[in-house]
Structure 1
Amino acid sequence: MYNLDPVTIAIIAANVIVSMKGFNDRLFFEKFKFNVGSIRRGEQIRMFSSGFLHADTTHLFFNMFTLYFFAGYVIDALGTLNFIIIYIASLVFGNLLSLYFHKDEYWYSAIGASGAVTGVLYSAILLEPGMSLYMFFVPIPIPGYIFGIGYLLYSIYGMKNRIGNIGHDAHFGGAVGGYVITLILLPSLFKTDLGYVGLLALPIIILYLLYKTGKLK
C-alpha cells in the first residue's frame, strides 16, 4: 500500500540526509555507526544514529523503497504516532539484539535502517497477513505471512552461519520489535487473527529454542 504520509516522507528524508552526510564525511560516519566497543564505552547514541546511516546508495534505496511500500499498512491501521513508535522501537530492538549477540566482539560494526524497516514490514504483515507479495524471479504472489515467516527463518540461518556482510540479527530483532509493539497497540489481534499471530511467532520461538539449547552458533 503506497503511502505519502508526511511522516513517511520525513523519515525517508532524514535517512537520505544523514546517509549522504556519512557518504561524504568519514569522521561523521565513524562517529555515529553501530560499534560494540564504542557503545559499551557509553556512546549509546550509536544505538539510534546508526539506523540512519547506510553503506551506499543501493543500500539506502532498498531500505527506503521497502519502507515506502509498507508504511501505509501500519499508518492506516494504527495511526501516525503509533507508526513512529513502531519504527523507533524496531530500530532499537534490532540494535539491542545485535549488541547482545556480539557483545564480546568489540570490533563489530553495523549501519542501516534495516532493523526499523523490517519491524514495519513485520507489523504490516501482522496487520494484513493475507497481503500478496512478489519476490524477484518468483512469478506468483506469496501470502504475506508466508513471506514473513520465511524471511525470519532465513535470518536465523544467516545468523547461525554468518552469511554475507548483513546484520541478520538486527533484521530479526527489528521484526520482533514490530511484532511485539503492534500486539501491544492492537491487542484485538489476539481475537481476530490468533492463528496468524501464532504462526508469525514461530520463528521467534525457534530462535529462542536454538539459543537456549546452544545450537545457534
Structure 2
Amino acid sequence: MGNLSAVTIIIIAANIIISYKGFSDYSFFDKYKFQVGAVQRGEQIRLFSSGFLHADNAHLFFNMFTLYFFADVVITLLSTMQFLIIYLGSLLLGSLLSLYFHKNEYHYSAVGASGAVMGVIYSAILLQPGMSLYMFFIPIPIPAYIFGIGYLLYSIYGMKNRIGNIGHDAHFGGAIGGYLITLILSPWLFKTNLLMIGLLAIPILILFVLRRMGKM
C-alpha cells in the first residue's frame, strides 16, 4: 500500500485544485456542492462535482491521505480502469443514498470525496481481506474486515442519530458502491472470499431492514 500510480495522482490533484477553488470562491463552491433542492431541479452535475469539493484543509487532507493508502491495492489487484469505475461509481452511489435519505430536506447540502474513498476502502477489503489497518488512536493492527463491518454499523448509528456534521449516508452509500461494483467486476471473489462477502453484507442488510421498518 501507499504507492502512487498516475491515476491516483490525477485524482488527488483534481481534488486539491477544485477544493482550493471552492475555498476561495464561494459562488463556485455553492454552484457545485451537493444540495437536495438543486439536484431535484435538474442539476445532476452536483452528484459528481460535490465529490471534488471539501469543507476545509483537514477534510481534504484526510480523504486524500486515506485514498493514497488504499488506491494501489485496488489498482494492483484489478486495473486502472476498474479502479476508476469503482471510485466514480462509489461517489455516485454515495450521493444517491444521501438524496434518498434527505429527499424531503430541500436545503440539505454536503461536499467531500468520502463516498468515493469509502468505496475504494471496501473494494480493497474485499480484494485483500487479510490486510490489517492501523488507526491513529489504536496502536495495534485491526483486521480490515472488522474495520469494514464496524464502520458500516457506526454509519447506521450516525445516520439514525445525526451524529456530528458528517455525511454518514454518503459514506455508507460509497461503501455499498465499492462492495457491489467490485463483486460485479470480480465474480471470482464468490469462490475465494464467500464468507467475507457475507459478513460485509450484514450491515448493508441491517440498514435496509431498518429503513423498511421506518426506523431510519
Query: TM-score, structure 1 length as denominator?
Result: 0.99
Residue of structure 2 equivalent to 1:42: 42
Q: Measure, in 2, the Cα distance between the counterparts of 1:189 and 1:101.
A: 30
Partner of 2:129: 129
Determine helix, strand or coil for the equivalent of 1:140.
Answer: strand
Give the aligned partner of residue 80 of structure 2: 80
- Cα deviations across residues 72-125 of structure 1 (Å, max 9, x unaligned)? 110001100000000000000000000000001000000000000000001001
Q: State the match for 2:155 in structure 1.
A: 155
Farther-moved stretch of structure 1 (7-16 vs 135-144): 135-144
Moved over 6 A (4+): none
Which residue number corresponds to residue 212 of structure 2? 212
What displacement does 1:136 show? 2.4
Query: C-alpha distance in 1, partners of 2:203/2:65?
Result: 25
The aligned counterpart of 2:144 is 144
Q: CA deviation digits over 1:35-76, x for unaligned, max 9?
A: 000010111100000000000010000000000000011000
- The aligned counterpart of 1:110 is 110
- Residue 113 of structure 1 aligns with an amino acid whose one-letter code is A
- Tell me how far apart the structure 2 counterparts of residues 118 and 58 of structure 1 sit (CA, whole Å): 17
Question: Which whole-Å CA distance do the structure 1 matches of 2:21 and 2:147 have between them?
Answer: 34
Q: Distance in 2 between matches of 1:202 and 1:81?
A: 29
Cα deviation digits, residues 116-137 of structure 1 (max 9, x gap): 0000001001111111111122
* CA distance in structure 1 between the aligned counterparts of 2:198 and 2:103, rounded to whole angstroms: 30
Report SS of the residue matched to 2:4. coil
Question: Following the alignment from structure 2 to structure 1, what is the Cα–Cα distance between the partners of residues 139 and 63?
Answer: 22
Q: How many residues are paired up?
A: 216
Unaligned runs of 5+ in 1: none
In structure 2, what is the Cα distance between the partners aligned to 1:159 and 1:94? 13
- Which residue of 1 is the match for residue 170 of structure 2? 170
Shift of 1:214: 1.4
Identity of aligned residues (%): 74
Deviation at 1:205, TM superposition (A): 0.7
Aligned residue number for residue 120 of structure 1: 120
User: 1:20-99 alignment to 2 at 5 Å?
Assistant: 20-99=20-99
Deviation string, structure 1 residues 164-192 (Cα, Å, up to 9, x no partner): 00000000000000000000000000011
SS at match of 1:134: strand
**Partners of 2:174 and 2:14 in 1: how far apart?**
19
Match of 1:183 in 2: 183
Cα distance in 1 for residues equivalent to 2:133 and 2:90: 21
What is the match of residue 7 of structure 1? Answer: 7
Deviation at 1:159, TM superposition (A): 0.2
Deviation at 1:213, TM superposition (A): 1.2
CA RMSD of aligned residues (A): 0.6
Deviation per residue, 1:194-213 (Å, 9 max, x gap): 00010011110110111111
d(CA) in 2 for partners of 1:214, 1:103: 15
Q: Distance in 2 between matches of 1:215 and 1:100?
A: 15
